[in-house]
């Protein structure tokens, strides 16, 4: 038995591949384009493992995807492949349209052709699982209830709009063509192997380098934080027992303002890697101009997945952020290798 994972060298995808192979002997065909955030070093522990078959390529390459489906005959496709950074989507939305919308379309078309050719016995067990985001729901006011699966889509950035479009395509392929799909919409992930353009790893890396810790606006934007390994376990449960055509919101039940997250990271670094001058890393916090269209609050109501699939997160924010900070302190070589010239140019452009 085999599964096909797209985007399996990115942050969430690589964690999922590692998690999957830690729990299963079932092989993974890992298709990733290896753009700036795709990093095979995250999968270095799988080198020589015959259960991990890596293929460099684009989900929009129909002939390649067709060949992989025929050659490896997967029983499921899990789609992580996406451009995912809001700030980058504001500066250059075209890549997000091409990957998240057009790429998902080509992937769905390939999978539809493959699924239609399967014997009836294999059709009944085949699944296409699409991994999405809570950002498709838009922004919440401070007093509003968390997002449920029934919330209307109100995306506010080119990134979230492109993910919303891909979600609609996946839904349409189920209702129009009978493709056995599942969709998950997750809250903000954090944990090991996170490319240091996103807030939590950026703060850790900048703090250790003695740089400013850039916080947008007043830092009171609220996010629900989900430890990435909890997210991986949720995807496994949805793949195993989720109802066809359904959406499952996956959250950590950890709403935190951004500034509180940054100060928590500083306190942990003060404990585990104190500054040589005895001062707190919090002294490096610098408030910068807010980004355009910045959503004020996201929050996930994850009761459906708990009720139907008996899943809930294992980590509190306190336990997860401690594990995350310690991981970055213990894996400085990984961090150093991902800090390419392209990465440094981006940080300079975004936070100047």
For CA atoms 229, 235, 238, 241, the dihedral sign is negative
Helix (H, G, I), strand (E, B) or coil at 333: helix
Residue 270 falls in the annotated catalytic set: no
Structural contact between residues 252 and 224, judged by C-beta atoms closer than 8 angstroms: yes
Per-residue pLDDT reduced to its tens digit, 268-307 = 999 999 999 999 999 999 999 998 888 899 999 999 999 9
Which residue among the candidates 32, 58, 87, 134 is catalytic per the annotation? 134
Residue 89 has pLDDT above 90, yes or no: no
Q: Please state which of the ranges 86-95, 110-119, 153-162, 261-270 shows the lowest mean pLDDT.
A: 86-95
> What's the first-to-final CA gap in the chain, in angstroms?
49
pTM above 0.85, yes or no: yes
Rg (CA), the chain: 20
- Cβ–Cβ under 8 Å, residues 32 and 38: yes
Catalytic-residue membership of 159: yes
Separation of alpha carbons 137 and 183, rounded Å: 14
How many Cα neighbours within 13 Å face the side chain of 133? Answer: 30
Query: What is the rounded distance in angstroms from the CA atom of residue 112 to the CA atom of residue 341?
Result: 40
Average pLDDT over residues 208-234: 97
Structure confidence at residue 38 (pLDDT): 86
Annotated catalytic residue: which of 135, 230, 295, 315? 135
Strands 255-257 and 247-250: unpaired
Q: What is the pLDDT of residues 323-333, one digit of tens each?
A: 999 999 999 99
Q: Is 281 annotated in the active site?
A: no
Q: Tell me: the pLDDT tens digits for 14-62?
A: 999 999 999 999 999 999 998 878 889 999 999 999 999 999 999 999 9
Structural domains of the chain in order of their starting residue, each with its CATH number:
2-191+227-252+294-317 (3.40.50.720)
Helix (H) or strand (E) holding 17: helix 11-23
- Report how far residue 317's alpha carbon sits from residue 252's, in angstroms, rounded to the nearest whole number: 8
Burial class (CB in 10 A: 0-12, 13-18, 19+), 118: middle
Q: What is the mean pLDDT of the chain?
A: 95
For 59, 64, 197, the CA distances from 32, given in Å and listed in that order, are: 8, 12, 19
């Amino acid at each position: 038995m085999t599964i096909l994972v797209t985007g399996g060298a990115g942050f969430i995808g690589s964690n999922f591949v590692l998690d999957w192979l830690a729990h299963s002997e079932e092989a993974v065909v890992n298709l990733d384009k290896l753009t700036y955030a795709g990093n095979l070093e995250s999968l270095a522990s799988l080198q020589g493992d015959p259960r991990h078959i890596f293929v460099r390529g684009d989900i929009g390459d129909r002939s390649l995807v067709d060949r992989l489906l025929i050659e490896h005959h997967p029983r499921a496709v899990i789609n992580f492949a996406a451009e995912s950074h809001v700030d980058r989507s504001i500066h250059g939305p075209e890549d997000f349209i091409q990957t998240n919308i057009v790429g998902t379309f080509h992937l769905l078309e390939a999978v539809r052709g493959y699924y239609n050719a399967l014997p009836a016995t294999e059709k009944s067990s085949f699944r296409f699982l699409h991994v999405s985001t809570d950002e498709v729901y838009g922004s919440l006011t401070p007093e509003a209830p968390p997002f449920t699966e029934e919330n209307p889509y109100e995306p506010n950035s080119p990134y979230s709009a492109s993910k919303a479009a891909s979600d609609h395509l996946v839904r349409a392929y189920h209702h129009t063509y009978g493709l056995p799909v599942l969709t998950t919409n997750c809250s903000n992930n954090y944990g090991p192997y996170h490319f240091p353009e996103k807030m939590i790893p950026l703060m850790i890396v900048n703090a250790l380098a003695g740089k400013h810790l850039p916080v947008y606006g007043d830092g009171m934007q609220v996010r629900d934080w989900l430890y990435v390994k909890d997210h991986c376990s949720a995807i496994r449960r949805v793949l195993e027992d989720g109802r066809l055509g359904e959406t499952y919101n996956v959250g950590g039940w950890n709403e935190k303002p951004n500034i509180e997250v940054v100060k928590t990271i500083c306190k942990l670094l003060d404990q585990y890697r104190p500054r040589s001058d005895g001062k707190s890393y919090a002294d490096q916090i610098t408030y910068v101009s807010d980004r355009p269209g910045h959503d004020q609050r996201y929050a996930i109501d994850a009761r459906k997945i708990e009720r139907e699939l008996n899943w809930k997160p294992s980590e509190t924010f306190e336990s997860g952020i401690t594990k995350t900070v310690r991981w970055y302190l213990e894996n400085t070589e990984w961090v150093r290798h991902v800090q390419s010239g392209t990465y440094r140019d981006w940080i300079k452009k975004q936070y100047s």
